[in-house]
Every structure is written in C-alpha cells, then in structure tokens.
Amino acid sequence: MTERIENMVNYVLKKTIYPEPREIEYDRADYLLSERCRETKRLCEYMLAQEVAIPDGALMVGMIRFDKCPYPSDFMKKKGFKHTKEIQQHFFDLQNGPFDYFKFWGWQHATADFGKIIEVGIEGIKEQIYKSLEKFSEDEDKTDFLNACLMVCDGIIAWENKCVDECYNRSLTENTPERKQQLLKMSENLKRVPRYPATSFYEAIQSLYFCFDFLSDSLGLPDRWLYKYYKQDIENGSITDEFAKELLQELFIRVQSCTPVESAAFTKGGESNFSLGGYTADGEDGYNELSELILTSLLELPLYIPQVTFRWTKKTPFDTFYHVMDLERKDPHQRIAFVNDDVKIECLMKNCNVSWEEAISYVTIGCNMIALSGGLWYGTGYANQVKPLNDTLYNRKEDIIKAKNFDEFFEIYKDELHKHLTRDMEVGNMLHAYASKDECILGSLFMTGCIEKGLSMHKGGASGFSEMGGGAGLMCTIDSLAIIKQFVFDEKIVSAEEMLNALENNWDGYEHLHSMILKKGNFFGNDYELSDEVAKRVTTAINEFAKDKTDIFGKHYIGVVAPGYREYHKVFGAVTGATPDGRFKGEPFKTIGVGQTEGRDREGLTALLNSVANYDPSRHFAGVTVTNINVDSALIDNDENFKKTAILIETYFKNGGAQIQINSVSAEELIAAKENPEKYKSLRVRVSGFSDYFVNLSEPLQDNIIKRTSLK
C-alpha cells in the first residue's frame, strides 16, 4: 500500500475519521407541519448543518454521522428509529429472554442499490419520483411520501454542494501544488456525483463513498457496479491499476471507520459485508479483473470491516477458486466466506418467485443474511427450532405411545411444528407492524421498489425476504428425531414410553441408555442414510408450510440456520427440556448452523460435507445458512495438502453445499487461548457469517468453535 493509505489505516484503527456530529436547534413552527413533513425538513437541515471532514491526504469526501439526528436516518444503526429501538429493547436483549419462550427480534440488514445512483444520479432518482407522483396522483399518502423523497433528494444535493465548496475553499489556502490539484479535482468530482451519473471510475467510487452513510450497511456488488467505468478508464489510459487500488482502499478505510473504535463491533466483520463474483445475466461466471483488484486491495489492509463473500459458480475455474481460498488462508483477519451461487439462486427462484435476472443480484449482508440488490432482510427474529419437538415430547405423550411407526410419530411432530410456525408468523407480523411506525425516507431512496410503490422501506416498499423456522437448534431437532427413529421404531431398543420417561427424568436412572445413544446413535453429519433422510424430512416439512406464504408486507419466507453472533443456542437451550440426542435439560444446543460437534461426526469432514450438501432438497434453508469447520493448520500451511482441501470444498459445492467458512486453528490452540487470553489476543476465527478475535467471544461461542468438526 502507498504511504498515504498506510497513514490513513493507522489512523482509523485508533480514531475515527468522521467529523463529530452537530446537534442543531429546529424551528418550533415545524410542529405545525405534518409529522412526515416535519421530520423530513429537519433531517435535511441536520445534514446541511454538519461539518465537512477532509482527512489528511483524502481523495474523496462526504462522510456524515447521524448520531444526533432524532429522526429516522441511518437504517443500519437505527438512528432516530424510535419504535424499532423499543422493539430492540424489549425483544432483542437476551437478558429479557425470548418472546413466548421461543423467539427474539432479529437485526434487519439492507443493501442499497448504489449501482443505480452511480448510473443515474440523484437527479435520475428525482425523475423516477416525478413519474410515481403522476402514477399515484389520487393517493394522498403516497404522494406525500414521494414529495418527502424529493425533499431529501434536494437535501442530499445541498450537502453535496457544501462539500464542493469546502474542497474548493481549502484549495485556495493550500500551499502544496499537488494537494491543491487534488482538492480541486475532488471539488470537480462532487459537482457531478452523486447528483448526476458518474462518467469515470473515480467519480463512480466517489459517488459510492458519498452515499454510503445514507444506508451504511453493505457495499453490495461493487465489482458489477464499477466494472464498466474501470474497464473504460483502463482502456483509455485515464487511470492505472495502482490509482484504482488506492481509491478502493480509501473506500474500505471509510467503511471501517463508520463503526466507532470504541464499539464492541469494531472488530466484527458482520457490520458490513459485500459480495464478489457470481453469475452474470448471460449465465457466465462474473469474477473479473476488477473483482480481483477489489479483493486484493481489501486484503492488503489490516482492517476488520468490511468482509466479503465469494460467490462460487459451476463455471468458476478451479484455479480462480483455489486462488481465492489461498488469499483467505493468508489473511490474518479471515475476511472471506464462500457461498454456492447455484444453490442460493435456486433457493430464491424456487421458494420466493424471484426471476433469474433478479436472483443473480443477491448480496450476502450482515452475518450471512441475504437480500437482492437494493433490498432488505425483513426477517423478524430467531426462533427456538427445538420447541416444536420439545412440545411434542412433553405434551403429546399419549399420542406418541400410540404411534405404530416413525411415520405416525413424525406426523405428531409435524402438527406441533406447524403450530409453532404459525405462531412464528403471527409474532413476526406483530413486530413488523410496530416497527413500521418508523419511516425511513432517506434509506428508501436507495432501495428497489420504494419509489415505484410510493412506500417506505420500513413499511414493505423495498424488495426482500422474511425468515421462517429460523434460529438455533435445527441440528438438535434432526439428531433427536433420528435417535427416536433408530432406537424406538427401527431397532426397538427402547419403547416410546421408556424414551419419554428418560427425558422427563433428565436421563437420571437411564444412564445406560444415554451412554448407548452417544456411542451408537445415528447422528447427522456422518453420511448415514437414516439421519440424512430425517434431515430431509424436517427441512421439507418446514418448506411445505412456508411455500407460497408471505408476511404482512407480502415478502416470501426462507429458512434461517443461526446467523449472527448472539448466544441463541444457549438461551433457547436453557428453556428446553432434555432431548433424545443425549442433551440434558437446560444445556445449550451444541451446533450453531448446519454441522456437527463433540465427536458425533465419526466419519470425518468428507462425510459431514456430504450430509450438509444433501440435507435440504427444497433449498428453503439455502438462503441464510452457515457451515463452520475447523481445518488443521497442517492442511492449510502445506501447499500440497491445501490443494486437496480446496478440491474437497469445491466438491462440496458441486454436490449442493450452500455455504462454508473455514478456521485453520487447532482445537488445542483454541483451548490454550481460552485459558490464557492475554497470550492469544491476535487469534481470529470465523464465527457465524463474520470473523472476530477469539478472546472477544463469549464462553459459549468459544466452546462451540472448539468442538466443531475438524479435518486432520
């Protein structure tokens, strides 16, 4: 990296480059306006009152913080979102416990369509608003919303002009000729973008840089949005790879600094996630020379944020896949996760009625959620996936004893499952209805559908998906059902009544049965026909219920398997009785995501990956899923062994695996880090869609990572 970039990196790892937000006084006469008009007017006044920050050596400008804005503004950080904050306070805090013992509210992520802004500019957005005003001329609420959008567009342009003036004024007092020219160039760029369409790579990056704080979550699909400008400027000689790299790195530095240094999330990559590669509209693999430049530019920086998802396709050359995996193994901050484009796209098309053209624009956001470009993850929370089974085992004893075979037993479970999913939908819609009292005009400008529908992103205007049956404990459910099938119905080792009595007594007096289950149980993740078929039945049962259902906003449901870094597996486990997989009452669920732990993966990693690749024939859970594995450092550090590892992961994707993230730290080293955290402060691990320092994680998360499947 250049000295300029190195200086900026060193600075942001200690301090923010953002200006201190200014609190302003508003005109009391504003209270005579409608609430929407008042909040929009004051939002624009807030933006214009902020200081223009130009960090030393910066070639781009436009940073703004909304910390002291009392009205809905930064959607990612929920600034000014009064009702959403109330939901968060009561139903997101783990200390309060889950709603109805089974559900928490989940953080909503979004990915702005910055590509549209780069292409058409704010003036182009205004033209779209005018068309919608004509379309909805008879609808007072929609026209009022759209007029508020126009007001915010003008507010952004006013803020842009303030930045233009600041760059120009500084150039007048700058004594260094080179810096003087840089400031003048910055001023010229800002006269065009983001107000008008970008005409160069530099302008396109500046447009993205300028707009990021208006929806400070994901950078989306930068290799797609920026490619034509990069290729054009490289071919005409107006830019070099070296300069393009500098601009990209300055963008990444700005994204890192968006999360305050003092925040516990400063080292968590899930604060911002974007995607590279994947299928293009013509069905070809989209990883190109700009994708490569973006990735290598990011990994050269010692930052934690943003993180990136590499989208593998069946047309991805193995050399490319190997190369990206090689970059990941050499990255001390472990910023790359890997997903299977074929499976993700199939999930969206099959379960959400999304077209191919729309599906290829998906972005992995936050801690491995999913949204289309310019879309929102509407998912309302994480549920206890073991509760339907718990209610079956502890409330339906007489029905279970009468069951003649596993099919009859499974129908009893499915009845409880569908009751649970119905309640899940009801609670989710209630949470949506309350949170939708907030209206984010600013963020809506950057979302697909809001202007076209005349409807705020928070009220369902944006494209997106909701979650169903998602949360923690799916593997516990699958293992427990597999044990019931094996021990009660197939091998008839115990009667259904004996199994239920063992659970009610928390295995006390049934130690022999408990030991036998742990030793001989047909657990998921071993490529065993029995447990794999049970897994398919469970995921299919959830998908059958979810099929064609939508939430209060008309968004289709997809499955979720424990994204994020909160201790859902512990909290839900605490309110769940003993389960047939050998788990004791109150114990945490042992597996986060889709996988296996604690030596139950007897057949090794290849068998585990085979099971995971085939467990969800409906692809319902392929939208939001995590599969975490530990790989011994000997299979990473040695080039010959590493190639075999890359082939194994590629085969997993070819077989239908949806996602994977890899730790190359031994269990022994992780245990040592837990016991002596001071000696292992720099040890980073993949958690659940992001990476963080191992010593920063809670003890339950540390234990789960230690017990993951290992390849040695």
- The average pLDDT across 186-192 equals 98
The widest CA-to-CA distance across the chain, in whole angstroms, is 89
The strand pairing partners of 202, in sequence order, are none
**470 in a structural domain:** no
What mean pLDDT, rounded, does the chain reach? 92
Distance, in Å, from the CA atom of 79 to the CA atom of 70, rounded to the nearest integer, reads 7
What confidence tier does 693 reach under pLDDT thresholds 50, 70, 90? confident
Is 413 a member of any domain? no
Q: What pLDDT does residue 670 have?
A: 78
Residue 570, number of CB atoms within 10 A of its CB: 20
- The first and second tokens of residue 276, run together, are 């590279």
Strand partners, 685: 692
| Segments in 239-317 forming alpha helices (H) | 241-257, 289-299
Strands 307-312 and 336-340, bridge-based pairing: parallel
Structural domain span for residue 42: 19-52+114-213
Q: How confident is the model at residue 673 (pLDDT cuts 50, 70, 90)?
A: confident
Please say if the pLDDT value at position 362 is more than 90. Answer: yes
Q: Is the pLDDT of residue 563 over 80?
A: no
Assign 19 a pLDDT band (cuts: 50, 70, 90).
Answer: very high
What local confidence, expressed as pLDDT, does residue 345 receive?
Answer: 97
Give the Cα-Cα-Cα angle 44, 49, 52 (nearest 5 degrees).
110
Q: Is the bond leading into 194 cis (omega within 30 degrees of zero)?
A: yes
List alpha helices for 521-594, DSSP H.
Answer: 529-546, 568-574
In-domain check, residue 416: no
Domain count, the chain: 1
- Higher-confidence position of 311 and 597: 311
Q: Is the pLDDT of residue 680 over 50?
A: yes
Question: Which stretch of DSSP H or E encloses residue 560?
Answer: strand 560-561
Contacts of 427 (CB under 8 A, 6+ apart): 99, 100, 103, 380, 381
163 lies in some domain: yes
Higher pLDDT residue, 560 or 517?
Answer: 517
277 with 311: CB under 8 angstroms? yes
More confident residue, 52 or 633: 52
What percent of the chain stands above pLDDT 70?
97
Residue 243 clears pLDDT 60, i.e. is over it: yes
- d(C-alpha 55, C-alpha 183), whole Å: 12
What pLDDT, on the 0 to 100 scale, is given for residue 257? Answer: 96
Residue 102: its pLDDT value, please? 78
Banded model confidence at residue 666, pLDDT cuts 50, 70, 90 = low
Token pair belonging to 163: 């930045």
User: Region 325-345: what's the mean pLDDT?
Assistant: 94
Residue 213 confidence (pLDDT)? 96
End-to-end CA distance of the chain: give it in Å, rounded.
36
At residue 711, does pLDDT exceed 60?
no
Asked if pLDDT for residue 183 goes beyond 80, the answer is yes
Evaluate whether residue 23 is within a structural domain: yes
Integer Cα distance of 36 and 149 in angstroms? 10
C-alpha span between 482 and 524 (Å, rounded): 8
Can you tell me which residue has the tokens 């809506």?
444
Mean pLDDT of all residues in 645-674:
87
Instruction: State the pLDDT confidence band at 465, using cuts at 50, 70 and 90.
Output: very high
Residue 614 has pLDDT above 90, yes or no: yes
Ramachandran bin of 507, using left for φ above 0, alpha for ψ from -120 to 50, beta for the remaining angles: left
Query: 653 CB contacts (<8 Å, ≥6 apart)?
Result: 312, 338, 340, 342, 343, 660
Q: Stretch 247-253: mean pLDDT, rounded?
A: 98
451: its two tokens:
């202007």
Position 491 pLDDT exceeds 50: yes
CA 72: distance to chain centroid? 22
Spatial neighbors of 295 by CB under 8 A, at least 6 apart, are 276, 308, 310, 324, 327, 336
Question: Position of tokens 């937000």?
Answer: 21
Tokens 């879309």: give the residue.
Answer: 375
For residue 90, is it left (φ>0), alpha (ψ between -120 and 50) or beta? alpha
Confidence of residue 25 (pLDDT cuts 50, 70, 90): very high
Model pLDDT, residue 564: 64
The DSSP line for 645-678 is: HHHHHHHHHHTT--EEEEE---HHHHHHHHH-GG
Q: Is the pLDDT of residue 548 over 80?
A: yes
Q: Are the beta carbons of 342 and 285 closer than 8 angstroms?
A: no
For tokens 């925040």, name the residue.
263
CA distance 52 to 162: 8
Containing H/E element for 409?
Answer: helix 406-435
Instruction: Determine, yes or no, domain membership for 312.
Output: no
Q: Please check whether residue 46 lies inside any domain of the structure.
A: yes
Q: What is the mean pLDDT of residues 228-239?
A: 98
Question: Which of these ranges, 72-86, 347-361, 534-548, has the smallest mean pLDDT?
Answer: 72-86
Residues in the chain: 712
- Give me the pLDDT at residue 682, please: 63
**Partners of 463 in the beta sheet?**
375
Its pTM stands at 0.93
